């Protein structure tokens, strides 16, 4: 009788415990980004140690495959499905608190789906289902110049792989207006959507710039291609040259330039230089004097590491910058450039005049100038309208002022040191070649309302030739 009562009490105790104990998980699907690590939550309530229990994670749907098994105080993953090998773990410390959450590393698009978390001991079990959705931003779009079109246009195709969900693809002109293009081709595979869209473009102006934009709800990527008018004329000479492009404007401009070089008669360039030579000498003396005046407004500029793109390497004195091969692990703060290898100075200016010099010797590519404080540092458009007053060098010898539209600059010699002068009230940003005392370009009659910061982009090490740093140099008056 006594034994019976004891069993009864014991039984009702166990019963009440098993009624109360449940497994919980998230009620809504988890949305995560491919490449990241994700914790799939699963825990016991009320908090009860699961150390002595079995925890089993299973992927449902396609085939019921074992994702992770913990049993008899150990992980038992001999039968784990191949795609999950080495990518799963439980939080062993947390198990004592009844937390059986699973960590899944380096998320893949193919990980999307429903996962069952099952927890059991000899007398009890419960499970929940965790639904995960994986989004992925595709590869950098690549623009290929496929062929000349019989109608006098050029056939371009823009492609990118690994998107999820599928992106919208647009071809845009330089003003950002959508251009009529062929239907988007979409192909689904295990790691997302491969997407391509073709367009035939025509010679609209001197410098034809086209963008191809991939857009998702949360992500966007763009590639651009610049096609000089001469390329349209050259259809007779070259057919079917493939021009790979990359997200950075540079890669594209460079490739367009290779094309450009093919058709530009060399002699005409040399004649142009010779003609310039005759007018330049008296001018140079005058400019030398102007430069000496500007140097009186020399300021000490240092680079602001908190704004530097994670690939940039700054010297300890914060006067030099180059672009490294790998991204450093730095916080993605609002002031940090993340889409363009840029950094700004620590010093800002909101009145008066200032001048500084930057050594560009040995570089094949750079962008320098000033920017206003409130620019978009995550997506860059280099125009005065968007807050950038800059000039750049690309492809070793192509100089241009990034006005809207760009102004190609013909300089007599390779610039080794750039002088930047700003007169805030006048709305003037001028660039000088310090060594030859010649004027490079001026933005005039601009209206500044925000603080201005010196802006630097050393570009990546294009073809291994652009490793020289940009160096903010002390200003000497040589007059």
Ligand X SMILES: *[C@@H]1O[C@H](CO)[C@@H](O)[C@H](O)[C@H]1NC(C)=O
- Binding residue count for ligand X, defined by CB under 6 A: 7
Supply 285's token pair: 């003396």
Supply 167's token pair: 């992106």
Instruction: Give the binding range for ligand X (CB under 6 A) out of 93-101, 219-227, 274-282, 332-340.
Output: 93-101
- Closest contact distance (angstroms) between CB of 101 and ligand X is 4
Q: Is 349 in the site for ligand X (CB under 6 A)?
A: no
Cα dihedral angle (246, 323, 393, 356), rounded to 10 degrees?
Answer: 150
- Closest contact distance (angstroms) between CB of 156 and ligand X is 47
In the complex, which residue's CB is closest to ligand X? 99
Q: Is 39 in the site for ligand X (CB under 6 A)?
A: yes
- Closest contact distance (angstroms) between CB of 96 and ligand X is 11
Distance CA 226, CA 249 (A): 9
Instruction: Give the binding range for ligand X (CB under 6 A) out of 38-46, 159-167, 232-240, 275-283.
Output: 38-46
Which of 23, 25, 38, 43 forms a contact with ligand X (CB under 6 A)?
43
3-state secondary structure 112-135: CEEEEEEEEECCEEEEEEEEEEEE
Instruction: Give the binding range for ligand X (CB under 6 A) out of 35-43, 161-169, 371-379, 442-450.
Output: 35-43
Q: Which is nearer to ligand X, 43 or 148 (CB)?
A: 43
Which of 99, 208, 307, 395 forms a contact with ligand X (CB under 6 A)?
99
- Closest contact distance (angstroms) between CB of 414 and ligand X is 56
Q: Is 101 in the site for ligand X (CB under 6 A)?
A: yes
Q: Which is nearer to ligand X, 27 or 122 (CB)?
A: 27
CB within 8 A of 169, min separation 6: which ones? Answer: 158, 184, 195, 196, 197, 212, 213, 214, 215
- DSSP class of residue 252 equals H
Q: Is 37 in the site for ligand X (CB under 6 A)?
A: no
Which of 65, 91, 417, 442 forms a contact with ligand X (CB under 6 A)?
91
Q: Is 94 in the site for ligand X (CB under 6 A)?
A: yes
- Closest contact distance (angstroms) between CB of 400 and ligand X is 51
Helix, strand, coil percentages, rounded to 5, for the chain: 20, 40, 40
Answer whether 392's CB lies under 8 Å from 359's CB: no
Distance CA 102, CA 400 (A): 54
Count of H-run helices and E-run strands, the chain: 5, 31
211 exposure class (CB count in 10 Å sphere: 0-12, 13-18, 19+): buried
Binding site for ligand X (CB under 6 A): 39, 41, 43, 91, 94, 99, 101
């Amino acid at each position: 009788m006594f034994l019976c009562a004891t069993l009864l009490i014991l039984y009702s105790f166990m019963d009440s415990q098993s009624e109360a104990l449940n497994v919980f998980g998230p009620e809504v699907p988890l949305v995560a980004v491919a490449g990241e690590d994700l914790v799939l939550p699963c825990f016991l309530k009320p908090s009860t140690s699961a150390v002595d229990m079995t925890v089993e994670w299973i992927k449902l749907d396609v085939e019921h495959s074992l994702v992770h098994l913990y049993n008899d105080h150990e992980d038992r993953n001999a039968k784990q499905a191949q795609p999950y090998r080495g990518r799963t773990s439980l939080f062993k410390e947390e198990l004592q608190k009844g937390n059986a959450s699973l960590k899944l590393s380096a998320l893949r698009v193919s990980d999307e789906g429903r996962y069952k978390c099952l927890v059991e001991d000899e007398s009890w079990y419960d499970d929940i289902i965790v639904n995960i959705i994986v989004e992925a931003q595709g590869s950098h779009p690549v623009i290929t110049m496929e062929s000349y079109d019989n109608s006098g246009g050029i056939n371009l195709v823009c492609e990118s792989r690994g998107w999820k969900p599928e992106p919208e693809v647009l071809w845009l002109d330089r003003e950002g207006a959508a251009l009529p293009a062929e239907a988007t081709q979409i192909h689904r595979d295990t790691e997302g959507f491969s997407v391509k869209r073709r367009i035939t473009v025509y010679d609209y102006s001197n410098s034809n710039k086209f963008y191809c934009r991939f857009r998702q709800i949360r992500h966007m990527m763009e590639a651009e291609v610049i096609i000089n008018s001469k390329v349209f004329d050259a259809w007779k000479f070259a057919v079917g040259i493939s021009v790979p492009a990359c997200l950075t404007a540079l890669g594209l401009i460079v490739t367009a330039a290779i094309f450009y070089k093919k058709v530009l008669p060399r002699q005409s360039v040399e004649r142009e230089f010779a003609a310039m030579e005759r007018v330049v000498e008296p001018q140079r003396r005058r400019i030398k004097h102007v430069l000496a005046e500007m140097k009186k407004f020399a300021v000490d500029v240092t680079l602001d590491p908190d704004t530097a793109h994670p690939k940039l390497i700054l010297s300890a004195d914060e006067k030099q910058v180059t672009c490294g091969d790998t991204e450093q692990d730095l916080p993605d703060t609002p002031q940090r450039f993340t889409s363009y290898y840029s950094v700004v100075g620590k010093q800002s200016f909101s009145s008066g005049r200032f001048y500084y010099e930057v050594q560009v010797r040995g570089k094949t590519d750079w962008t320098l100038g000033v920017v206003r404080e409130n620019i978009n540092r995550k997506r860059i458009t280099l125009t005065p309208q968007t807050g950038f007053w800059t000039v750049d060098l690309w492809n070793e010898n192509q100089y241009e002022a990034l006005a809207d539209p760009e102004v190609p600059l013909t300089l007599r010699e390779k610039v080794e040191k750039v002088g930047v002068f700003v007169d805030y009230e006048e709305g003037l940003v001028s660039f000088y070649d310090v060594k030859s005392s010649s004027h490079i370009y001026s933005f005039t009659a601009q209206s500044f309302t925000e603080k201005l910061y010196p802006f630097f982009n050393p570009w990546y090490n294009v073809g291994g030739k652009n490793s020289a740093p940009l160096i903010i140099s002390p200003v000497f008056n040589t007059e």
